[in-house]
């Protein structure tokens, strides 16, 4: 008798499981059918970029004509940083200053901290005189920081390709003009 009951229960369990499996597989195929009927529009490769021209040729494509602010160093208006501790933009002409190499960096002539105040230049911040691998302060410019134009770029008066609604927030008005990154670098880490 016990054997008959167990056999009947087992058969019912197997039949119930296969009924559930049939039901779930049919609902998946219904969902798939629904998804296929509401397929997303196809986006072409040409629509992915910021330009409307053919992506496979450069014919007729020219860079945006940029109107660079070009007064000589020392005569230029300084620009507000884009956000707190952002690398400041270069407000003056870089003609004759580039390319920057490890052995030839004209920026250092005015921007070294001991010279900058006398020529009214922005001094190189303390972060550029620190080896972050060893966490040690250096008495010279860190080797990783010799290429100024890697982070600092000339300001250009151009229409943005994409609208930017970003508004920078500063903890104080001083961060608009100078970096405090050396003081805030490990904020929240310790």
Residue 137 lies in a domain: yes
**CA angle, corner 183, sides to 181 and 186, nearest 5?**
85
Residue 99 lies in a domain: yes
Residue 145 lies in a domain: yes
Q: Which among 143, 149, 63, 156 is positioned nearest to 98, based on CA atoms?
A: 149
User: Domain residues for 148?
Assistant: 89-158
Give the CATH number of the domain where residue 142 resides.
Answer: 1.10.1130.10
Supply 145's token pair: 């920081």
What is residue 114's predicted lDDT score, i.e. its pLDDT?
Answer: 96
Supply 5's token pair: 């009951």
What is residue 106's predicted lDDT score, i.e. its pLDDT?
Answer: 93
CB 71 within 8 A of CB 80: no
Residue 132 lies in a domain: yes
Whose tokens are 């104080």? That residue is 172
- Please tell me the total count of domains within the chain: 1
Residue 168 lies in a domain: no
Residue 19 lies in a domain: no
Residue 1 lies in a domain: no
| Per-residue model confidence as pLDDT tens for the chain (190 residues) | 555 444 544 544 444 555 454 444 445 566 666 666 667 778 777 677 776 667 777 787 777 777 776 777 778 777 788 888 899 889 888 888 889 998 999 999 999 999 999 998 889 999 999 998 898 999 999 998 999 999 998 888 777 778 889 988 888 888 887 888 888 877 766 5
What is residue 9's predicted lDDT score, i.e. its pLDDT?
Answer: 47
Alpha carbon of residue 164 to chain centroid: 14
């Amino acid at each position: 008798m016990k054997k008959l009951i167990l056999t009947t229960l087992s058969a019912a369990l197997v039949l119930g499981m296969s009924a559930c499996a049939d039901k779930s597989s049919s609902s998946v195929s219904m969902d798939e059918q629904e998804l296929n009927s509401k397929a997303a529009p196809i986006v072409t490769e040409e629509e992915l970029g910021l330009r409307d021209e053919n992506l496979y040729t450069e014919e007729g494509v020219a860079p945006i004509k940029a109107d660079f602010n070009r007064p000589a160093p020392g005569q230029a208006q300084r620009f507000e940083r884009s956000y707190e501790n952002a690398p400041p933009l270069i407000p003056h002409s870089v003609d004759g200053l580039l390319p920057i190499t490890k052995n030839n960096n004209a920026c250092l002539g005015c921007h070294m901290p001991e010279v900058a105040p006398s020529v009214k230049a922005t001094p190189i911040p303390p972060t550029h005189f620190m080896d972050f691998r060893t966490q040690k302060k250096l008495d010279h410019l860190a080797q990783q920081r010799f290429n100024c134009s890697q982070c600092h770029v000339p300001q250009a008066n151009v229409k943005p390709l994409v609208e930017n609604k970003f508004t920078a927030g500063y903890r104080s008005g001083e961060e608009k003009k100078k970096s405090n990154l050396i003081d805030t670098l490990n904020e929240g880490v310790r």
